[in-house]
Structure 1
Amino acid sequence: MPTLPHTKPSTVIAYRPQLDGLRFGAVLTVLFYHFLPTHQMIGRVLDIGVLLVFFFVLSSYLITKILLVGKERGLAAGYSKLKIGAVFLSRRTLRIFPAYYFYIFILLFIPSATYVRENSATFFLYLSNYQIFFDQEWGELTAHLWTLAVEEQFYLFWPWLILLTPNRHLPKMLFLIIACGIISRAVIFGMLDSPATQEVTLLVLTPTCLDGFGFGALLAYQHYYGNSISYLWKKVFFIALPIWIITLFLGNPAISIVVDRVFVSLFAMFILEGANIGYKNMFGRMLEHPVVLYLGKISYGIYLYHIFAVVAFWKVFAKLTAGRHTFIGINVSSIADFLKQPLVSFLIYLGLSIILASASWYLLEKPINKLKRFFVYNSAKKEALKVQEPEPARPALLQPQPDSHLAQPKENVKL
């Protein structure tokens, strides 16, 4: 079993810009899925929606690193684990709640958003994933909110699991979490009538998402101790990859629902590993492009508002062209046909989503985010407790290889 190294890990987190680039890439994939007819091509083999697991792996990776470092700093500063958890939840609340509740508030006044008004309590309590599953109804403007509900439920219990579990026992706990996610999908699939044909899949339920969070946390645990993914795990992944491809083409829904997310989670781990090291090729330069980094920063808003952008665009278009046969000298139906072309509509929706997300960031999220300075893991007076640590010994979790750049971050960022 894995053992905890005797040397202390570093209590700083280096800023990895390529992670912001990956964050935008993940959101862009969702927009491709919603705005382009992917179901006519790739969707015949792979449900692109399963790639949303990347969000869970990335979120768990980042959050677990923050919690591990916050735990180290807070305990060194004399804070209780209860206070450390309260600080974490306060900071998450300031980051997540404002834009989300602003969006829900807007939906309450949109005539077509009857599903939100009828089930406002579940949306306000971040329980919409269970609501849409049991109702088997997505809702016009709420189909994407299930992922935010899952993540918020994750934020509520995860800090206590990380804070209350001794670090030396965390790997065992994380493997148990992964097993629970896989087993829950198999059990729930077996309990349901015709689960493969349901409008809302069982994969929106939080227990079925646990393995993604577990894999992200495993990677965070490794990087916390300055380790990288071992050769053994890489070998296992590349052996398993062709097996997964075969299962995709077999088209067995039971196998797909149970194992697809495992492979996507493993794939996400390797992508995140590369981003931490830093891709040196064209892919890396693209991830670090200033425009991509900005879009990564506002990616939460892009994801939150992107469906609203579609509805808003066509509402405005309908009002501008109401009662007209021509608009700016062009036949209205011809304009509509042009705007409905997949590539044209995608660019319009993406542009509007970016505009809405930018406005939300500068007018709402960023000002409130500044309040995080009142919630820190250690006081300024005790900041001197943070010292440069030697590279720690390697825990046996993943049989890691030396990776000194992870143990010696060049730039610190606020948690």
Structure 2
Amino acid sequence: MKPDFFPCAPPGSVGIWVAGGRKRERMAADRIRGLDGIRAIAILGVFYTHFVDGNSLLGDLAVRTFFVLSAFLITGNLVALRDAKRLSHLAALRSFYERRALRLLPTYFAMLLALVAIGLVTIRDGLFYHLAFLSNIWFAMGVDWNPWVLAHTWTLSVEWQFYLVWPLIVLSCANRWVARAAAGAIAIALAFWLGCYVTGYFTDNTVLWPPFSLDALGVGALTFFFSGMLARPTKIHLVGAILPAALWCAFQLADTDSHHQSLVVAFLLQILPLLPIAILIAVTASGTNPVVDRILGTRPLAYLGRISYGCYLYHLPILWLMMQILWRVFDYQLKGGIIQLIVVAIPTIAFSALSWEFIERPIQKWRTGSRQKAAQAKFTA
């Protein structure tokens, strides 16, 4: 049984580095709970779209949020690694990939192998694509979302494809050239949308190709470099946050009479949220707005954001599991709605918390301890 949904982006977690401002030292040392709050709200949007209303655009908005936030944090980390003293570019690159691999891969491959073991994923279902982080290519070429329990992994593939290129640019170039590269990424995305408009070719799977995510990733990178300006409380920035959001809501109600009009609306729904998201991230990261800090930094939201990678990774497999249990044990067919949200979201969050406490967090502690021991050995040598 297959749910009706649009797969959403992953809440990959990276360390916190923010350029500029008096809060920089605090951000470099501590995890910003408000950013975890943004992750939490985004994962709730994913849950709503996948479990309650497959036509809701909240999941699509979460896609954009996760990509912008990921590029923002990754760019900051790479700039910090590049500027670190006594660290070569090769060592910085190795450090970045080591951190990303240890953070994302163990749980991903464990989930994938579990699905293979119970027969939900086979070679015919694109297993090698999923192992190689080419899920977006697999689903873009397919006529349906098969296997649907891995449909959400397309966004992880887009992230890893971004990781293959972006670190090389940031570690090799000065900030002004990195910012220009980010602007170029946005231009590439716009060019692909223009190509769709000119040719008239656009399907639901078209946006899975990497170029269509470059606008959100580019905006995230630019947010890092212009975070001080975006976080400054001015009327212009208030309009910049509210007006695009209002237009985004209005275009959801647009009545499109032709394919080209529909394509324009689809493009606007993708591009309009980016500036409000960038402003929210910049304000949250700066720590200059107590109200935003208080709301997004609440403990429940912050903890949900902390375990949001697991929530994202496991939510579709757990949906399948709960569907099977209810059908086989209670002869009940689980359908989209509030009941499905409750029945699936609660065990997903619980399992993600266990995954964080017993798999992800111990790996992070092990890596931190290994680095400290290596540094001590080098110092005493």
**Both proteins in one fold, TM over 0.5:** yes
Q: For residue 133 of structure 2, give the secondary structure of its aligned residue in structure 1.
A: coil
Letter in 2 for 1:182: L
Q: Residues 185 and 257 of structure 1 are in contact (CA less than 8 Å); yes or no, is this contact kept in structure 2?
A: no
Q: Residues 181 and 211 of structure 1 are in contact (CA less than 8 Å); yes or no, is this contact kept in structure 2?
A: yes
| Structure 1 position 280 matched with structure 2 position 290 | yes
2:170 maps to 162
Using the alignment, how far apart are the partners of 2:326 and 2:293 within structure 1? 39
Letter in 2 for 1:81: H
- Aligned CA RMSD, in angstroms, stands at 3.0
Superposed CA offset, 1:308-346 (max 9, x none) = 11111122234434xxxxxxxxxx6xxx37x75822221
1:359 maps to 354
Which runs of structure 2 are paired with 1:112-261 in the superposition (5 Å)? Answer: 112-114=120-122, 117-139=124-146, 140-188=148-196, 190-191=198-199, 193=201, 195=202, 198=203, 200-223=204-227, 227-229=229-231, 231=234, 235-236=239-240, 238=242, 240=244, 244=248, 247-248=251-252, 249-251=254-256, 252-261=261-270
Q: Residues 19 and 272 of structure 1 are in contact (CA less than 8 Å); yes or no, is this contact kept in structure 2?
A: yes
Unaligned 5+ segments in structure 1 are: 322-331, 384-415
Letter in 2 for 1:110: I
Which runs of structure 2 are paired with 1:3-402 in the superposition (5 Å)? Answer: 12-37=28-53, 39=55, 43=56, 46=57, 48-73=59-84, 76=85, 78-114=86-122, 117-139=124-146, 140-188=148-196, 190-191=198-199, 193=201, 195=202, 198=203, 200-223=204-227, 227-229=229-231, 231=234, 235-236=239-240, 238=242, 240=244, 244=248, 247-248=251-252, 249-251=254-256, 252-276=261-285, 277=287, 279-281=289-291, 284-321=293-330, 336=332, 342-373=337-368, 374=370
Distance 1:13 1:64, change over 3 A: farther
Range with greater deviation from structure 2 (239-248 or 144-153): 239-248
Distance 1:287 1:382, change over 3 A: farther
Q: CA deviation at 1:382?
A: 10
Distance 1:56 1:121, change over 3 A: same
Q: For residue 141 of structure 1, give the secondary structure of its aligned residue in structure 2.
A: helix
Could you say which structure has the larger radius of gyration?
1
Using the alignment, how far apart are the partners of 2:200 and 2:143 within structure 1? 13
Letter in 1 for 2:37: G
Q: For residue 370 of structure 1, give the secondary structure of its aligned residue in structure 2.
A: helix
Q: CA deviation at 1:220?
A: 1.2
Q: CA deviation at 1:363?
A: 2.7
Superposed CA offset, 1:206-235 (max 9, x none) = 111001011111111234xx5544655555
How many residue pairs match? The answer is: 346
Q: CA deviation at 1:121?
A: 0.8
Q: For residue 345 of structure 2, give the secondary structure of its aligned residue in structure 1.
A: helix
Distance 1:169 1:382, change over 3 A: farther
Q: CA deviation at 1:80?
A: 1.4
Superposed CA offset, 1:357-381 (max 9, x none) = 12222232222223433458x9569
Range with greater deviation from structure 2 (295-304 or 363-372): 363-372
Superposed CA offset, 1:84-139 (max 9, x none) = 0111011100001001111111111233435x653111000000101111112212
Could you say which structure has the higher helix fraction?
2
Using the alignment, how far apart are the partners of 1:382 and 1:271 within structure 2? 41
Unaligned 5+ segments in structure 2 are: 1-18
Superposed CA offset, 1:238-279 (max 9, x none) = 555555555442543221333322211112112212322365
Q: Residues 230 and 237 of structure 2 are in contact (CA less than 8 Å); yes or no, is this contact kept in structure 1?
A: no
| TM-score, normalisation: structure 2 | 0.80
Q: Residues 61 and 217 of structure 1 are in contact (CA less than 8 Å); yes or no, is this contact kept in structure 2?
A: yes
Using the alignment, how far apart are the partners of 1:55 and 1:148 within structure 2? 11
Q: Residues 247 and 255 of structure 1 are in contact (CA less than 8 Å); yes or no, is this contact kept in structure 2?
A: no
